[in-house]
Chains A and B, each alone.
Chain A
Amino acid sequence: MGTTLTKAPESAAHTVDAAGVAARIEHVSKSFATPAGQQLVLDDITLDVRQGEFVTLLGASGCGKSTLLNLVAGLDRPSAGAIATDGRPALMFQEHALFPWLTAGKNIELALKLRGLPKAERRPRTEELLTLVRLDGAYGKRVHELSGGMRQRVALARALAQDSKLLLMDEPFAALDAITRDVLHDELSRIWRETGVSVLFVTHNVREAVRLAQRVVLLSSRPGRVAHEWTVDIEQPRRIEDAAVAELSVEITEELRGEIRRHGQH
């Protein structure tokens, strides 16, 4: 078992997990120092993402979803507990986070370069990735020349360029209009099936969570704990307007509301 303690995350945290697990989050807590004292944001989270699995993490605003994702990405360290991932995960943000001084293609190539891919292989691999996100011909485009949806697709291609086993996504489509978001859901589902990458996808949109995931994990707020989990057996390909998606969404929404209501009672 490649579980590594958080004491030395830089050196050995990202060890390959033999048991078919892309990410193992064990008893992870995180608190931040605030003027009002220590604020416990995540409390004893235990969660596995299996290899090739698509998990969505759902929760009210401010419940610690981004915090958890940052911990898994290695951008921050947990206060307690351990996180083990199969290699360094790729991370996609709500904002595209593309570098404006590079073209779309060069953004992807930079990821390949930093991953250590030989120079000669970078251009062809970049073209492949652009084709995968259906942006052939966008290689030389500047970031500001792309639409919001195209930017997120380039960002997705750049994340995939890291060739990580695990893709972390922090509300990547939240800023897009409904039609574009719908299209990107289809694309993400297709790419997930084609590449076999494991995905941990954060959202506060219940329908989006059900539309995409094999498993939905609901986090409670203050502190964030795993409140509930659903396995989604709806057949792929799905649509966000499918009756089955709607039905499960209603159930999950009810649960989420219950979680939020609890906070109003004291």
Chain B
Amino acid sequence: MGSTETTTPAPREGQERDTHDLAGLEAGLDALDTVQTGRPPLRETLVQKVLPPVTAVVLVLVVWQILVWVKVTDGYKLPAPDAVWQEVENAWLQGTLLEYIWTSVSRGMFGFLMALAIGTPLGLIVARIKFVRAAIGPILSGLQSLPSVAWVPPAVIWLGLNDKMMYAVILLGAVPSIANGLVSGVDQVPPLFLRAGRTLGATGLRGTWHIVMPAALPGYLAGLKQGWAFSWRSLMAAEIIAQSPDLGMGLGQLLEAGRTNSSMSQVFLAILLILIVGIAIDLIVFSPLERWVLRSRGLLVKS
């Protein structure tokens, strides 16, 4: 043990010089190695991101118009695009267009925020506490595959034809998605981060707040996105089924009213608006959020 090596080292320059050289070398390495990242120019974004969907929409409109021209079916079954546009204009001029949209969107958003407030702690508890996970984890993921329209009849019986019933249906649709998204986000947190956090002193609640939650954010966001889609779908199902003057005129009610009036252009208008709102919320809220999170972590692969 302890065999000692003593060799006279070769004469070397002073240490000052050494550190100076080192700093230079290091700066060179850093410069060579550093990844350059930047945002693509606006023109490129337009050509790559905006042009394709616009083309697709135009194509659909053209095909639609052609089908109307060749009279593929009766006029009351397939309204012409300009008849639907007429509906949009009328609703706009009467000031009801935004009212329809706002009635549904405000309901959907409020329901979604409630689902968020319930689903987040629920997901965290399921992810972190083994007993709870074993107890309700499977039920939670099973609920995700239950079409939320199934909740409408019992909700009507329990709560009556009112806003409460709408919110109940939204919650039952969205809470499982949000909770499950968070659970899978937490499950995918690399163990290395947890160990690193523990050595830094982030244990218990501090570990959850500083390490687990931010690390699980991508999965959580995916859950939120799906949660919104489920909220919106559940709400539409509820609005179509629950007709009552007290409930106001949402997009679902508009759709159902179109059916009872045998106005196909109104039905088309309602479907179009439901689709557009769903896409718009995703484009305005969730996609930018998701992209920002992924980009800031260097996870957004440029194609």
Encode B199-242 as 1/0 by CB contact (under 8 A) with A: 11110001000110011010000000000000000000000000
Partner of B33, one of A74, A115, A150: A150
CB distance from A115 to the nearest CB of B (A): 7
| Cβ-defined partner of A230 (8 Å) among B4, B25, B201, B214 | B4
A14 to chain B, nearest CB (A): 11
Interface size, B (range)? 35 or more
Interface centre among A89, A144, A229, A232, by most chain B C-beta atoms within 10 angstroms, is: A144
> Which residues does chain B contribute within 8 Å of A142, judged by CB atoms?
296-298
A162→B200 CA distance, assembly (Å): 7
A190 part of interface (Cβ distance < 8 Å): yes
**Does more than half of chain A's interface fall in helix, strand or loop, or is it mixed?**
mixed
Determine if B7 and A147 form an interchain contact, defined as CB atoms under 8 angstroms apart.
no
Given the interface pairs A134-B23, A228-B1, A243-B10, the reply to whether A97 lies near B18 with Cβ below 8 Å is no
With both beta carbons as reference points, the residue of chain B lying nearest to A210 in the complex is identified as B5
Q: Give B133 Cβ to nearest chain A Cβ, in Å.
A: 23
Residues of chain A within 8 A of B55, CB atoms compared: none
Q: Interface code B1-28, partner A: CB below 8 Å = 1, 0 otherwise?
A: 1111111111010010011001101110
Report the stretch among A1-9, A34-42, A46-54, A234-242 that lies at the interface. A234-242
Q: A100-B297, A134-B26, A183-B25 are in contact. Are A147 and B33 (CB under 8 A)?
A: yes
- How far is it, in angstroms, between the C-alpha of A65 and the C-alpha of B26 when the chains are bound? 30
Beyond A99-B193, A101-B297, A180-B29, is A114–B9 a contact (Cβ under 8 Å)?
no
Question: A231 with B4: in contact, given A134-B26, A186-B22 (CB under 8 Å)?
Answer: yes
**Contact among B1, B4, B6, B296 for A101, CB-based, below 8 A:** B296
Residues of A within 8 A of B2 (CB): 229-231
Q: Judge whether B9 and A93 touch: CB under 8 Å.
A: no
* Contact assessment for B199 and A90 in the assembled complex, using a CB-CB cutoff below 8 Å: yes
Report how far A235 CA is from B198 CA in the complex, Å. Answer: 37
Q: Out of A114, A179, A231, A242, which one reaches B206, CB within 8 Å? A: A114
Chain A residues closer than 8 Å to B42, beta-carbon distance: none
Nearest chain B CB to A200's CB is how many angstroms away?
A: 14
Q: How far is the CA of A233 from the CA of B7 in the complex (A)?
A: 8
- Judge whether A190 and B19 touch: CB under 8 Å: yes
**Neighbouring B residues of A149 by C-beta, 8 Å:** 26, 29-30, 33
Tell me whether B50 is interfacial, beta carbon within 8 Å: no
- Total chain A interface residues with beta-carbon distance under 8 A: 52
Residues in B with CB closer than 8 Å to A148 are 33
Interface string of B68-103 (1 = CB under 8 A from A): 000000000000000000000000000000000000
Across-interface contacts of B296 in A (CB, < 8 A): 101, 142
Interchain CA distance A115-B32 in the complex, whole Å:
35
Task: Check A95 for interface membership: any CB of B closer than 8 A.
Answer: yes
Whether A97 lies near B4 (C-beta < 8 A) is no
CA of A238 to CA of B206 in the docked complex: distance in angstroms?
Answer: 42
A206 part of interface (Cβ distance < 8 Å): no
| Chain A residues with a Cβ under 8 A of chain B | 73-75, 88-91, 93, 95, 97, 99-102, 110-111, 114-115, 134, 142-150, 158, 162, 179-180, 183, 186-187, 190, 228-235, 237-238, 242-244, 247-248, 251
